[in-house]
Amino acid sequence: MSELLHELANTLNISTSFTYTSGGVEKAVNVSDDVLKFFIKSMGYDATDDAAMEASLAKLSKKRWQRVMEAVYVVEEDDKVFDIVLKQGEEVEFFIAKEDSGDYQPLNVWLSEIETYHEGRTPLVKFRAEIKEDVALGYYDIMAKVSGKEYKTVLAVAPKQCYALDKKGKEKLFGFALQLYALKSRRNWGVGDFTDLANMVDILAQDGGDIIGLNPLSVLEHDYPEQASPYASVSRLFLNPIYIDVTKVPYYEQGDKDEEAIKQAKEKENIDYTTIYNAKMRALKNIFVRVNERKGEAYYKAFEKFVKADEGGLHCLAVLEAINSAKKNGEFSAVEAKGVSSFAGRGIKEFVNKHKDEINFFKFLQFEADRQLKEVYEEIKKKNMAVGLYRDLPVGVSQNSAEVWNDKYLYMQKSGAGAPPDNAFPTGQKWGLGAFNPFELKERCYKPFIRILRANMKYAGAVRIDHIMGLSRLYVIPNDKEEGTYIRYNEKDMLNILALESYLNRCVVVGECIGNVEGSYRERLTARNIYSLGVLWCEHTDDFGTVRRPHEFDAKYVASIGTHDMPPLKAWWFAVEQTTMKELGMLTAEEVDKAYHWRDHERKLLLEALDGEGVWPQDNLRKSDYIYGEGFPEGLEEAVHAYMAKTNSEIFIMQPEDIFLSMKLQNLPGTDIDKYPNWRSRVPVDIEDMASNDGYRRILDVVKKWR
């Protein structure tokens, strides 16, 4: 690696080296020149040779001096400082207005010189501009009048911390972590829906619970329902219509339901997304015909209002979905397809004019999904839950998403987010998700990020930021390579925006940071009042695997036994994920043997920890060591839930898969549907039978005892 290449990459916040821990061993990686050059080119700079790199560095060094103010300044409420570049001797007046109001008022700003830049006849001076008056939290337009010209920037004034959890007088909270699609009920159509969610709210509220965590609810591909990962969405701004309870849509008729198709789908072991989704779409299209016949009625007027409130994202999504359907149906020639390859394509206007009904149907799906989720939210408010819905914001979107299609230059080109190897995933992960270009994101005043936060905080009392380290640095991999590197973001700006949106939306923030985490990152999150996940299988006090005791768990944790990427309790005990990886050829015989021995060791440590806390049920105490094939310990599920309920953590969430002893993995990272049926396993017990289930009642009773 040349020094120039190293310098250029670092200037562009592209990591030239990094470390990761796998198998308990820290390993260092020097990023290849090819990968560095790929990302330098992606950001619009030339690294073909030394001369080109010198020119790129010179261009970057001049960049800040070529504008009076940057596009946006994100400041904290007690440190309202930005910078401004003026010609030497120029005077400036400042004015402030609430965002997009146009009502500018004089602003008191003190200037102090920082540095001078000499190029041309008149030197340029960079000043530190400090606002010397109170400015409430929020977004503002700042105008600087300089030599008869007006220059504008956006100012975001953020709190130092995210919104504080209101426990409503309770010491500790508990609830569920649900995969909504996995809920099984006698009334649904083969996949969990918003009515199932409302029923789970009722069940939880009866036992005094306060929080329901959900998988990402983001809309997925309309024409490929089997692409079921909730973390590879078509848009993080809108909802997956598969969760609509069709029977609750106004103007539904019994004949809309394909009874035979639904019956066959529900009889299958795994979720049959294609059959279920297509049955719902046929029914919803029938209903939409009736909706259009009743344009004077309140329901249609509410739909119109929803569409009129669109800031562009809804229309973009609806157009893309209509285009994809047309392509699947063979309605496009190669030339016509090229004309709609982006939202700015020359063929878009003509397509929209020809397909208004289809486009409106896709908007209708979003309206109804939003309406039904809002009804769940209203029920939660009536039950006075401390948190309510705890939504999940994915780290990125599919590269063929509406967000990328609409604005591809906002994203890193021909590459996607992933993760290097770590202890949990020794082969690394290549998610292929679209990743923001950090420089372009700032030029857009962080508005795309803000819109996504708002969409996922809607109707929620808490939001989980998947891979929150991605707000500081994100591991990105070129599409044609297996090796990637970290792209660094402006951590201070990103976390300040997150804090501001948390405050404005009264939404608690939880950061998922399992895996490779920079040294003090968790402490920095805690200082921001951002909760971390406290997952039993990851909470060790040393490299030996000693299980963290309940009193050692952080209060600012959302504690759980596992996650959707980890095996449920009983499957963990029997190392199902390791056996599956062995069968799929993902681990060598040596790696499998080592993994099995480590699981034996982990089981022993878990049993000792449970003994030390005295959490075994009195009528089902531990009978042996259960280490060498003696089966699953009776009472283990109750003991483990009691152990986690005892933790200091302010929130504890339970997975139904742990309660009902599922042996299936929801997701096996590093695999797709061709290898493993990810995102297709159902909860073993129908919702109608949960509250009366003996195992469920025992676990809820012990959780309430310690919460």
**Amino acid (one-letter) located at 588:** T
Distance (Å, whole) CA 393 – CA 694: 34
Q: Which pLDDT belongs to residue 442?
A: 97
**How crowded is residue 5: how many other Cβ atoms within 10 Å of its Cβ?**
18
Radius of gyration of the chain (CA): 27
Q: How confident is the model over 652-675, as pLDDT tens digits?
A: 999 999 999 999 999 998 888 889
Mean pLDDT of the chain: 94
Contacts of 196 (CB under 8 A, 6+ apart): 180, 183, 185, 188, 245, 687
d(CA 286, CA 258): 12
pLDDT tens for 18-65 read 988 776 678 899 999 999 999 999 999 999 999 999 999 999 999 999
Percent of the chain with pLDDT over 70: 98
Residue 164 gets which letter from DSSP? P
For residue 256 the two structure tokens come to: 């809309």
Using CA atoms of 284, 286, 287, 289 in order, give the dihedral in degrees to the nearest 10. Answer: 120
HEC-encoded secondary structure of 294-342: CCCCHHHHHHHHHHHCCCCHHHHHHHHHHHHHHHHCCCCCHHHHHCCCC
Q: What per-residue confidence (pLDDT) applies to 170?
A: 94
Evaluated on CA atoms 93, 96, 99, 103, the torsion sign reads: negative
C-alpha triplet 614, 616, 617: angle, nearest 5°: 125
Q: What are phi and psi of 424, to 5 degrees?
A: -75, -35
* Angle subtended at Cα 59 by Cα 53 and Cα 61, rounded to the nearest 5 degrees: 105
Tell me if 109 sits within 8 A of 129, measured CB to CB. yes
- Render the burial of 276-314: b for 16+ CB within 10 Å, e for the rest: bbebbbebbebbbeebeeeeeeebbeebeebbeeeeebb
Distance, CA of 514 to CA of 523 (rounded, Å): 14
Of 410, 387, 429, 448, give the one whose Cα is nearest residue 586. 429
Instruction: Give the C-alpha distances (Å, rounded to integers) separating 138 from 29, 76, 81, 370.
Output: 41, 10, 15, 26
Q: Residue 454: how many CA atoms within 13 Å on its side-chain side?
A: 10
Residue type, 701: D
The residue assigned the tokens 């010179």 is: 58
Q: In which element (H, E) is residue 50 found?
A: helix 50-63
Q: Give the strand pairing for 124-131 and 109-117.
A: antiparallel
| Structural tokens at position 444 | 């857009």
- Residue 233: partners with Cβ closer than 8 Å, 6 or more residues away: 216, 218, 219, 220, 240, 394, 397, 398, 401
Question: Residue 481: left if φ>0, alpha if ψ -120 to 50, beta else—which one?
Answer: beta
pLDDT of residue 9: 97
Helices (H) then strands (E): counts for the chain: 23, 25
Predicted pLDDT of residue 45: 96
In tens, the pLDDT along 205-256 reads 999 999 999 999 999 999 999 999 999 999 999 999 999 999 999 999 999 9
pLDDT at 23: 64
According to DSSP, residue 674 is labeled T
The two three-digit tokens of residue 74, written as one number? 């994100």
Mean pLDDT by 10 residues, the chain (707 residues): 91 94 80 96 95 96 96 97 97 97 97 92 95 97 96 98 96 97 98 98 98 98 95 96 98 98 97 98 98 96 97 96 91 78 92 96 98 98 97 93 92 91 74 93 97 98 95 95 95 97 98 76 92 95 93 96 97 95 92 92 96 95 79 95 98 98 94 92 98 97 96
pLDDT at 675 (0 to 100): 93
Q: How far apart are CA 155 and CA 588, in angstroms?
A: 54
End-to-end CA distance of the chain: 56
Per-residue pLDDT, 624 = 86
Domains of the chain and any CATH numbers: 3-64 (no CATH), 78-158 (2.60.40.10), 195-208+530-707 (no CATH), 244-371 (no CATH)
Question: How large is the greatest C-alpha to C-alpha distance in the chain, in angstroms?
Answer: 89
How far apart are alpha carbons 201 and 691 in whole angstroms?
Answer: 12
Query: Strand 415-419 and strand 473-478: pairing?
Result: antiparallel
Which residues make Cβ contacts (< 8 Å) with residue 584, sequence separation at least 6? 671, 675, 676
By CB atoms closer than 10 A (0-12, 13-18, 19+), residue 451 is middle
